Structure 1
Amino acid sequence: MKKLIPVILSMALGSTFLMGCTKSTQETSKSKTQVVSKEVKVSIPDGLPSIAIAKLANENTHIQEGYEIKYTIEKTPENLSTSVMKQEPDIAIVPSNMAAIAYNKTSNYQIAGSVGNGSFYLVSTKNIKGFEDLVGGKVLNSGKGLTPDITVQSVLTDKGIDPASINFDYVNSTSELIPLLATGKADTGFVPEPALTMLMNKNPNIKIIKSLNDEWKQTKKSKDGYPQSTIIVKSDFAKENQEFIGLFLNAVSDSVDFANINGSDVGDYAKKLGASVEPKIINKSLERANLKFISIKDSINDYKNYYQNLFDFDAKSVGGKIPDEGIYFIKE
């Protein structure tokens, strides 16, 4: 029996050693197969784009295994532009002219689609029927020389109206424009949604005269109007992650559809995401917001037309030149 004890101990120790090795091997094998999620940075401006993507961002919808999406709302155009020019976001929603500038300046961002067309409206408390009634009058607009201004001037020119015949009074931003129209210090101007709904709540005498997007569709022979909010993807990221980009764009499309159908819910979603507009305003503004996902393959001509018009008025508005075909991201 004494002779058996060392043998039994040896077997026991050997068994323990083998079990330990097996466990260690399993743990090592497990650690090797663990997938570290790739972080995808998505930047969104405050306003309609944040409403368009609110459901997707809030529900943290699973897009594809191995990817973790981080959404950031940029409160000012300056912050968004700085972030994009530093090539920080992998995906961003930007004003359409900023997409052109980003491509021309960095060569590392491409257009994958849009989430909204023009949402600017000519409004007034005066008895105005159309653009021709603006001649000789005073009209408020925001951003002299920027896209709202250039878009208005382009439509006026197409309709045979000299923009110089109208006394435009410019402010820096929509937030400066609204109080002037709300208090009656100004009576006519171009206002985008959702700020327009806020304005109409404050001043019930404000009437919508014309949709700038509808006028663009008519004068430019465009089905959807001009692209206002553009989805851009970082070129090197998109090339290596085409399947993810495709799935992400599908999810964005679903999120936009949800927003258009579920106004009260998306208002709450947008508020949780960090949008500055109140949910009740969002709900009322959606009928005029022109939120719609359009893939780039279905909107290339609209972009080319838009960039040509911007370039003709001011080359700097698109980064000095009309972007070449490389700006359009077509999934292979």
Structure 2
Amino acid sequence: MKCKRVLSAVMAAALCVSLAACGSTASSSQAASTAESAASSAAAEPAASPETAAGGLRVAGLKGPTTMGLVNLMDSEDGADYSFTMYGAADEIVPLLVKGDLDAAAIPANLAATLYQKTEGAVEVACVNTLGVLYILENGESIQSVADLKGQTIVTTGKGTTPEYVLRYVLTRNGLDPDADVTIEYCSEATEALSQVQAGMANIVMLPQPFVTSALSQVEGLRVALDMNEEWEKVAGSQLVTGVLVVRKDAAEADPDAFAAFLDGYAASVEAANSDLEGTAALCEEYGIVAKAALAQKALPECNIVFETGEQMKTDLTNYFQVLYDADPASVGGALPGDDFYYGV
């Protein structure tokens, strides 16, 4: 019988709640304040010793694609060697990681960069686990390229966060002035933006998965007009990143072979998540990541779950961080991460 030592901080109630981390990012102020307060509180407490941590590597994940990519490892025999904990928000994870109560965590990429700065390089990024999940939807057929957005109104979320920076960057690199050529209306959350489309108040909306899947099933005539991951790659020459796995350097260095074995298991788990949709979806329901397996199975192919390491990881993150830094240095902790931020490179 497989040992399943998974602690769940929050139980999933619905797809859009349980998968909210699919498009989650930390705002500039959230990333900075969360990491700053965590680093300050941790300064007075000694970090836990990686060698004596019970249950092997202690790994935290957010509800959504991050944990969906891990779920096959969690359910495997090898998974019994690790302690997995799921959380509903990144700010629950950060203090534990900073203090050494966790060894590794799957978090938004820009928060990882901020943590690197606030902990003076005590963490490094081991892999990219989720690529871009933003899509522009249209109720109609007029938007076939970014250029077609000129003169249009785009409803979206994430003002002052990475969705805004991504949208403005793609528009600018396609010759459009985000402040003159288009009108961008920001909602407080994706459900609000979706409700405007449902009510016929908006025809063009930028949403993250899984809200895209939900919107397409609810609004007749709505279609995916632009995949922002593809549009980003056209102008940036690299892939758009959403989530990463960070690890405390002391934990990775305490037993390099053990950490490498964990990454091998993680890679196999991601491969299974992308090839065995039905089996992975069933595990997502079993572990409380989503309410129903059918919902998970529908969302899995659209969430861009990956396992990216080495030079490709560094290239994608370096380009991504540069765009965020140019938009707002605080979004990546005030400075770009050094080369020592990238594990194994």
TM-score normalised by structure 2 residue count = 0.78
Aligned to 2:173: 158
* Partner AA of 2:151 in structure 1: G
Q: Does 1:123 align with 2:137?
A: yes
* Aligned alpha-carbon RMSD (Å): 2.2
CA-CA distance at 1:74 after TM superposition = 1.6
Structure 1 residues 100 and 300 mapped into 2: Cα distance closer, same or farther (>3 Å)? same
Aligned to 1:49: 66
CA-CA distance at 1:136 after TM superposition = 3.1
Aligned to 2:219: 203
Q: Does 1:257 align with 2:276?
A: no
Given that 2:55 and 2:83 are in contact with CA atoms closer than 8 Å, whether structure 1 keeps it comes out as no
CA-CA distance at 1:83 after TM superposition = 4.3
Give the Cα separation in 2 of the matches to 1:88 and 1:269. Answer: 26
Structure 1 residues 247 and 172 mapped into 2: Cα distance closer, same or farther (>3 Å)? farther
5+ residue gaps, structure 2: 1-51
Give the Cα separation in 1 of the matches to 2:189 and 2:68. Answer: 20
CA-CA distance at 1:100 after TM superposition = 0.3
Aligned to 1:30: none
Given that 2:138 and 2:224 are in contact with CA atoms closer than 8 Å, whether structure 1 keeps it comes out as yes
Could you report, residue by residue, the CA deviation over 1:19-52 in whole angstroms, capped at 9, with x for unpaired residues?
xxxxxxxxxxxxxxxx995442211111111211
Structure 1 residues 86 and 179 mapped into 2: Cα distance closer, same or farther (>3 Å)? farther
Given that 2:156 and 2:207 are in contact with CA atoms closer than 8 Å, whether structure 1 keeps it comes out as yes
Secondary structure in structure 1 of the residue aligned to 2:135: strand
Give the Cα separation in 2 of the matches to 1:216 and 1:86. Answer: 36
Give the Cα separation in 2 of the matches to 1:208 and 1:232. Answer: 32
Aligned to 2:33: none
Aligned to 2:16: none
Given that 2:97 and 2:248 are in contact with CA atoms closer than 8 Å, whether structure 1 keeps it comes out as no
Give the Cα separation in 2 of the matches to 1:142 and 1:36. Answer: 40
Give the Cα separation in 2 of the matches to 1:171 and 1:179. Answer: 10
Secondary structure in structure 2 of the residue aligned to 1:210: strand
Could you report, residue by residue, the CA deviation over 1:247-286 in whole angstroms, capped at 9, with x for unpaired residues?
1111111111111111122112112222246422322233
Could you report, residue by residue, the CA deviation over 1:64-122 in whole angstroms, capped at 9, with x for unpaired residues?
xxx84221222124434454455542111111111101101112210111122112111
Given that 1:99 and 1:230 are in contact with CA atoms closer than 8 Å, whether structure 2 keeps it comes out as yes
5+ residue gaps, structure 1: 1-34
What does 1:19-168 correspond to in 2, within 5 Å?
Answer: 37-57=54-74, 59-62=75-78, 68-106=81-119, 107-126=121-140, 127-165=142-180, 166-168=182-184
Q: Does 1:279 align with 2:293?
A: yes
Given that 1:41 and 1:69 are in contact with CA atoms closer than 8 Å, whether structure 2 keeps it comes out as yes
Aligned to 1:242: 256
Give the Cα separation in 2 of the matches to 1:135 and 1:234. Answer: 45
Give the Cα separation in 1 of the matches to 2:202 and 2:258. Answer: 48
Given that 1:74 and 1:80 are in contact with CA atoms closer than 8 Å, whether structure 2 keeps it comes out as yes
TM-score normalised by structure 1 residue count = 0.81
Could you report, residue by residue, the CA deviation over 1:286-320 in whole angstroms, capped at 9, with x for unpaired residues?
33322221113432111111111110111011010
Give the Cα separation in 1 of the matches to 2:191 and 2:289. Answer: 15
Structure 1 residues 36 and 308 mapped into 2: Cα distance closer, same or farther (>3 Å)? closer
Q: Does 1:214 align with 2:230?
A: yes
Give the Cα separation in 1 of the matches to 2:246 and 2:288. Answer: 21
Secondary structure in structure 2 of the residue aligned to 1:163: coil
Give the Cα separation in 1 of the matches to 2:237 and 2:225. Answer: 21
Q: Does 1:227 align with 2:241?
A: yes
Secondary structure in structure 2 of the residue aligned to 1:53: helix
* Partner AA of 1:257 in structure 2: E
Given that 1:194 and 1:282 are in contact with CA atoms closer than 8 Å, whether structure 2 keeps it comes out as no
Aligned to 1:326: 340
Secondary structure in structure 1 of the residue aligned to 2:295: helix
